[in-house]
Amino acid sequence: MAGVVRVVLRAALLWLAESVRAEEMVRRAPLTRLLVNRFVAGEDVGAALATARALDVRGLDCSLDLLGENAADEASAAAAGQAYLALLDQIQAAGLPGNISIKLTMLGLDISDESAWEKLEAIVERADELGMFVRIDMEGSEYTERTLGLFRRIHDLYPTAVGIVLQSYLYRTDRDLDEMIERGARVRIVKGAYKEPETVAYPHKNDVDDAFRRQIERLLDGGTYPAIATHDEAIIRMTQGYALRMSVDRSRFEFQMLYGIGRGRQEALAAEGYSMRVYVPYGTSWYPYFMRRLAERPANVLFIVRQLFRS
């Protein structure tokens, strides 16, 4: 019964992530800010860089992500491209070891592939010049093939400066993973956080977990510095055990976790000699990201409900 409730609640939260009216209500609720601050480093780059410095002191790497998606016009897409270029320079000037994560819809993918390509090429070229790294996030399944197409183009030009994210819950991911391993691309593997139809994605958690484990093993066997992005303790232990059995050195892969979740576990992994990177989102467009985090961890909804009753 509890499992059914979680599934229904997750579906509802993912639906709310796309609701303009729900966003207006959530943004007006003062108690929401308590939980938003847990997941989002701040609304400006200064706050994000301060968080990156604090993580560095604790022995943790970071990937900074300016929140936003689905730019509706060329002016918005161009502004996002300039913001990412500035972010690379600001990280470099601060002497921080972090990299950045970007979303192609924020760079104009809804306008056209070429609109997104123009900004993407400029960003990755700058990262390459600075000796930095850009991770292209994967969005909903309607963008998967177009995202991979643009990734192939940019990876051909700058193979050490750019990587991709693949989502285990999509049926196609085993095939995509083989291609990325063959081309030597750096892959971040995640379970997936968007609402997808059963025609393209595994509908059941057990099937997603099985695919995730299978793909992690494949990456540890033949991948180029893969990133295992998970908070699932069973998956973490499975990754550690498989790496040990197959003599995969800890320097050949990294764990990744979200800002605000599992801080103690992040530090413990770093203390054990694993590379540990924290995904640090910031910016004013936090609502869709925030709702997807709630969908991944419905227990956070109970936190909000308790606060409402106490007030």
Residue 201, helix vs strand vs coil: strand
From CA 96, how far away is CA 104, in angstroms rounded? 24
Q: Tell me how far the alpha carbon of residue 61 is from its chain's centroid.
A: 14
Residue 170 carries which DSSP code? B
Three-class SS state of 132: coil
Nearest Cα neighbor of 151 from 138, 140, 164, 141 is: 164
Quick check: is 183 catalytic?
no
**Any residues with CB less than 8 A from the CB of 53 and at least 6 apart, and which?**
94, 96
Catalytic one among 10, 126, 135, 188? 188
Sequence-distant (≥ 6) Cβ neighbours of residue 176 within 8 angstroms: 148, 166, 170
Which residue among 61, 65, 137, 209 is the active-site one? 137
Catalytic, 188? Answer yes
| Cβ atoms within 10 Å, residue 1 | 5
Contact (Cβ atoms closer than 8 angstroms) between residue 293 and residue 39: yes
List 38's β-bridge partners, or say none: none
What is the maximum alpha-carbon separation in the chain? Answer: 56
Cβ-based neighbour number of residue 24 at 10 Å: 10
Pair 14, 194: CB distance under 8 Å: yes
User: Residue 62 and residue 57: Cα distance in Å, rounded?
Assistant: 11
Known catalytic residues are 137, 188
